[in-house]
């Protein structure tokens, strides 16, 4: 005799591996990690979320807490690619699998996630690019799974692991926040290079011996000071920008893109998403390109 729906949702947790994880090719290793932690994927579905699905998923917080900019960022994330929706069966040892997975997932702000949690080990960028969502309780799992077209009838596990391994498609994105910031600043410096005096070029080489140095905290101030007098308009402020929430009222992403475009630098879609979301939510830094677990 099969489980009742009530019993099913007490034992199964809805998990959404979000587009940023798929961009980075982490979905297969994350599914393996979930299984190793005692949350075996029993059903999987690759879904490109439309705005109505996002509305349904976040209905409670959209109505009472979200501001327009937050919705814009979440919409940008989900429109960037597919998500991997999972039903994960919790091991008996967990008792309440929803609470247990919330603990193993790690803090919603990844810069506060404890080492050993999924978000810390896989190098989540910020709370928008947080790699995954999991439901808080049985009723929420039932509702959110339905939004993404999953039900107890799908939980046979036959092709879940296979789909998890295939999910992303395309090349793996290996740049975290620091690498993205370093890459944009590097291209900006190169775009200005021919117009810089020899002495400035020499000082640039000493200040930034490799491109990773341009992604370190404080590198923006050093770069802007170095090229002062050789850039026009608000570009100097764009170069100073650390793309952290304390800069939110100092620069607008539109200005950033316009000033970089003026010197021939065009951030790609991933760079744009990482930098804009980090203007609102603190990024996790200094974890390498993809996180220790992902690189294993």
Judging by DSSP bridges, how do beta strands 39-47 and 132-134 pair with one another? unpaired
Torsion over CA: 38, 43, 48, 53 (sign)? negative
Quote the CA–CA distance of 63 and 149 in Å, as a whole number.
23
Question: What digits encode the pLDDT tens for the residues 264-289?
Answer: 999 999 999 999 999 999 999 875 44
Q: Return mean pLDDT, the chain.
A: 89
Low-confidence ranges of the chain (pLDDT < 70): 1-3, 61-68, 167-171, 287-296
Q: What angle do CA 142, 104, 292 make, to 5 degrees?
A: 125
43 DSSP β-pair partners = 87
pLDDT for the residue 147: 94
Of 141, 106, 98, 144, nearest to 127 by C-alpha is: 106
Tell me the Ramachandran region of residue 39: left when phi exceeds 0, alpha when psi lies from -120 to 50, beta otherwise. beta
- CA 31 – CA 20 distance, rounded (Å): 15
Could you tell me the domains of the chain?
5-170 (3.30.70.141), 177-278 (no CATH)
Give the three-state DSSP class for 286.
coil
The CA distance from 191 to 185, in Å, is 10
pTM (2 d.p.): 0.88
Report pLDDT digits (tens) over 155-182.
Answer: 877 788 788 877 555 567 889 999 999 9
């Amino acid at each position: 005799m099969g489980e009742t729906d009530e019993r099913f949702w007490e034992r199964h947790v809805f998990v959404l591996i979000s587009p940023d994880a798929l961009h980075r090719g982490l979905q297969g290793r994350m599914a393996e990690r979930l299984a190793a932690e005692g949350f075996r994927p029993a059903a999987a579905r690759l879904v490109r979320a439309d705005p109505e699905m996002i509305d349904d998923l976040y209905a409670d917080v959209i109505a009472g807490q979200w501001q327009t900019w937050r919705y814009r960022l979440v919409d940008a994330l989900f429109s960037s690619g597919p998500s991997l929706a999972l039903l994960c069966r919790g091991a008996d040892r967990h008792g309440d699998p929803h609470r247990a997975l919330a603990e193993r997932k790690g803090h919603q702000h990844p810069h506060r996630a404890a080492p050993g949690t999924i978000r810390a080990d896989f190098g989540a960028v910020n709370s928008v690019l947080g790699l995954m969502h999991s439901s808080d309780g049985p009723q929420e799992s039932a509702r959110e799974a339905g939004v993404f077209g999953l039900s107890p009838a799908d939980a046979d596990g036959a092709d879940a692991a296979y789909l998890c391994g295939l999910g992303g498609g395309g090349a793996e994105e290996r740049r975290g926040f620091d690498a993205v910031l370093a890459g944009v600043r590097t291209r900006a410096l190169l775009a200005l290079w021919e117009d810089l005096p020899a002495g400035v070029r020499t000082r640039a080489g000493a200040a930034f011996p490799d491109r990773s140095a341009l992604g370190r905290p404080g590198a923006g101030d050093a770069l802007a000071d170095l090229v002062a007098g050789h850039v026009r308009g608000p570009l100097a402020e764009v170069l100073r920008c650390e793309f952290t929430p304390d800069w939110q009222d100092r620069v607008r992403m539109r200005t950033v893109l316009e000033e970089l475009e003026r010197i021939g630098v065009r951030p790609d879609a991933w760079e744009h998403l990482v930098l804009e979301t980090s203007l609102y939510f603190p990024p996790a830094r200094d974890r390498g390109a993809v996180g220790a677990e992902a690189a294993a």
